């Protein structure tokens, strides 16, 4: 607790000079980027942009199939809009949650996550496309493994925060974070046959241990174990082997080749778009050709309609997000903040990598949604809770909260994100 109060004191000191530099002189972009509020806004800008692009593209990609299925083109879009609204509210609440509260929620959160995940195997569970990873509550379905990601991050950060110096002792590094925490969750997810989510969970755990400072030699061992595990799971499923064959086998000469339908149609969509895209709304492949156009393959539709600038913008926004996370890690002194940030960063970025890699043929098709962009209620809400967590961490960066509080209004605070000339005070 003493550390925290000292941090606050330091933050106050920094903040006293902050308004003058920002308000009285021409703030250059470089200068602004170095300011303690920059990570906060960079996270906000990148996520807001991704969510906006996502909403527009979910609308575009889903209209045809929605109309065919229900007669209403906007059904899925409006649902997505509703999920986003819920997510934004939760993100706001999460961003206001003090670090002490996050730590207090760590264990109950994990227990709740394990409980929800176990419900998948109760009569409430729902089978969807070969995976049993959903539960149905009052007519709404939700994917508890999405919330488990947040729970694992908060739990891990809480446990590992106090073990900075003992990370070379493997027992302390993995207990109780990996075993039993992550192991139970991943075990339940794998039992539900959702390999994609399991990989994200493992990536989050590995990433957090990495940033926590786990010696690299353990990664050789865990890497070998992980590879063997993935190979075992893949070999046990014809579906997964087919996907790997389609990825590496160079067999996909046309969409009719077994296992190549999605891959080739994703390539078709990206090629249709070409340099500059066919224009918003004009996708051809969304006409019941490319499967999951508004979900796992939304990047292909973005590429088709918005061209190379569209797909590169998405990559740039995720890169910006990663950079913002790095800035929080590097400018914070609180181990909890660093680890929680690293967790969210690995979650979002790894999931984006798996998704984009699948769509552009550099990875086998794994079937994870593109964070913030793809349709899907639970995924979007939990990702926005992740955003709230990040914002909460960003606020704790020395000088940030004070700088934010120093601004009299939300409106002006928002303008502070823009490197423009401000009126003299």
Among 56, 88, 118, 167, binds other proteins (CB under 8 A): 167
Min CB(76)–other proteins separation in Å: 16
Min CB(151)–other proteins separation in Å: 22
State which of positions 266-285 bind other proteins (CB under 8 A). Answer: 267-275, 278, 281-285
For position 84 contacting other proteins by CB under 8 A, the verdict is no
CB count in 10 Å sphere of residue 118: 16
State which of positions 238-267 bind other proteins (CB under 8 A). Answer: 254-255, 267
Between CA 373 and CA 361 the distance in angstroms is: 19
Tracing tokens 């394990």 back to the chain, one arrives at 114
Contact criterion met (CB below 8 Å) for 207 and 223: no
Stretch of 16-24, 44-52, 107-115, 358-366 lying at the interface with other proteins (CB under 8 A): 358-366
Min CB(415)–other proteins separation in Å: 25
For position 78 contacting other proteins by CB under 8 A, the verdict is no
Min CB(202)–other proteins separation in Å: 15
Contact criterion met (CB below 8 Å) for 362 and 223: no
Tracing tokens 């790894």 back to the chain, one arrives at 350
Phi and psi at residue 73, to the nearest 5°? -65, -25
Stretch of 39-47, 111-119, 310-318, 388-396 lying at the interface with other proteins (CB under 8 A): 310-318
Contact criterion met (CB below 8 Å) for 294 and 77: no
Stretch of 95-103, 162-170, 368-376, 409-417 lying at the interface with other proteins (CB under 8 A): 162-170
Min CB(82)–other proteins separation in Å: 16
Residue closer to other proteins by CB (options 271, 418) is: 271
Residue closer to other proteins by CB (options 63, 197) is: 63
Q: Is the dihedral of CA 106, 108, 111, 113 positive or negative?
A: negative
Min CB(131)–other proteins separation in Å: 22
For position 402 contacting other proteins by CB under 8 A, the verdict is no
Residue closer to other proteins by CB (options 113, 214) is: 214
Residue closer to other proteins by CB (options 114, 278) is: 278
Between CA 39 and CA 33 the distance in angstroms is: 8
337: CB partners within 8 A, 6+ apart:
99, 328, 329, 393, 396, 397
Applying CB under 8 A, the site for other proteins has a residue count of 64
C-alpha distances in angstroms, 13 versus 16, 83, 399? Answer: 6, 40, 8
Between CA 263 and CA 254 the distance in angstroms is: 9
Residue closer to other proteins by CB (options 78, 282) is: 282
Between CA 159 and CA 215 the distance in angstroms is: 17
Among 104, 323, 417, 419, binds other proteins (CB under 8 A): 323
Contact criterion met (CB below 8 Å) for 120 and 133: yes
Among 180, 213, 229, 406, binds other proteins (CB under 8 A): 213
Q: Starting at the edge strand that comes first in sequence, how are the strands of the sheet with 131-137 ordered?
A: 125-128, 131-137, 140-142
Q: Is the dihedral of CA 386, 390, 396, 400 positive or negative?
A: negative
Min CB(332)–other proteins separation in Å: 9
Between CA 284 and CA 314 the distance in angstroms is: 21
Contact criterion met (CB below 8 Å) for 377 and 83: yes
Residue closer to other proteins by CB (options 223, 274) is: 274
Contact criterion met (CB below 8 Å) for 325 and 43: yes
Among 396, 372, 381, smallest CA distance to 145 is for 381
State which of positions 328-347 bind other proteins (CB under 8 A). Answer: 329-331, 333, 335, 338-339, 342, 345-346
Contact criterion met (CB below 8 Å) for 184 and 164: no
Among 137, 221, 228, 312, binds other proteins (CB under 8 A): 312
- Which residues of this protein are in contact with other proteins, per CB under 8 A? 64, 68, 164-168, 207, 210-213, 215-216, 254-255, 267-275, 278, 281-285, 287-289, 303, 307-308, 311-312, 315, 318-319, 322-323, 325-326, 329-331, 333, 335, 338-339, 342, 345-346, 349, 353, 356-357, 360-362, 398
């Amino acid at each position: 607790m003493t550390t925290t109060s000292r941090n606050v004191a330091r933050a106050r000191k920094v903040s006293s000079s902050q308004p003058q530099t920002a308000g009285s002189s021409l703030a250059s972009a470089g200068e602004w980027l170095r300011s303690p509020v920059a990570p906060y806004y960079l996270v906000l800008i990148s996520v807001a942009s991704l969510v906006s692009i996502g909403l527009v593209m979910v609308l575009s990609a889903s209209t045809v199939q929605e109309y065919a299925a229900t007669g209403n083109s906007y059904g899925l879009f409006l649902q997505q809009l509703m999920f986003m609204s819920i997510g934004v509210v939760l993100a706001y609440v999460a961003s206001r949650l003090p670090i002490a509260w996050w730590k207090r929620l760590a264990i109950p959160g994990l227990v709740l996550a394990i409980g929800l995940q176990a419900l998948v195997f109760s009569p409430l569970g729902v089978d969807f496309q070969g995976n049993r990873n959903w539960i149905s509550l009052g007519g709404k379905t939700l994917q508890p493994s999405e919330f488990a990601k947040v729970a694992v991050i908060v739990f891990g950060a809480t446990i590992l925060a106090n073990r900075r110096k003992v990370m070379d002792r493997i027992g302390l590094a993995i207990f109780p974070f990996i075993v039993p925490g992550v192991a139970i969750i991943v075990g339940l997810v794998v039992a539900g046959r959702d390999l994609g989510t399991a990989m994200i969970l493992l990536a989050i755990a590995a990433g957090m241990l990495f940033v926590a400072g786990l010696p690299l030699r353990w990664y050789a061992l865990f890497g070998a174990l992980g590879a063997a595990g993935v190979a075992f799971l893949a070999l046990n499923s014809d579906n997964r082997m087919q996907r790997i064959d389609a990825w590496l086998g160079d067999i996909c000469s046309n969409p009719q080749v077994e296992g190549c339908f999605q891959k080739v149609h994703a390539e078709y969509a990206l090629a249709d778009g070409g340099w500059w895209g066919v224009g918003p709304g004009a996708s051809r492949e969304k006409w019941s050709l490319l499967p999951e156009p508004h979900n796992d393959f939304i990047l292909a539709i973005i590429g088709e309609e918005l061209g190379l600038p569209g797909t590169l913008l998405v990559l740039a926004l995720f890169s910006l997000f990663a950079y913002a996370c790095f800035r929080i890690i590097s400018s914070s002194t609180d181990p909890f903040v660093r680890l929680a940030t690293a967790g969210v960063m690995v979650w979002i970025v790894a999931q984006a990598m798996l998704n984009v890699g699948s769509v552009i043929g550099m990875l086998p098709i794994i079937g994870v949604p593109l964070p913030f962009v793809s349709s899907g209620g639970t995924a979007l809400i939990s990702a926005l809770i992740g955003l709230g967590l990040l914002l909460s961490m960003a606020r704790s960066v020395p000088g940030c909260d004070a700088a934010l509080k120093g601004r009299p209004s939300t409106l002006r605070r928002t303008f502070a994100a823009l490197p423009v000339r401000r009126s003299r005070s």
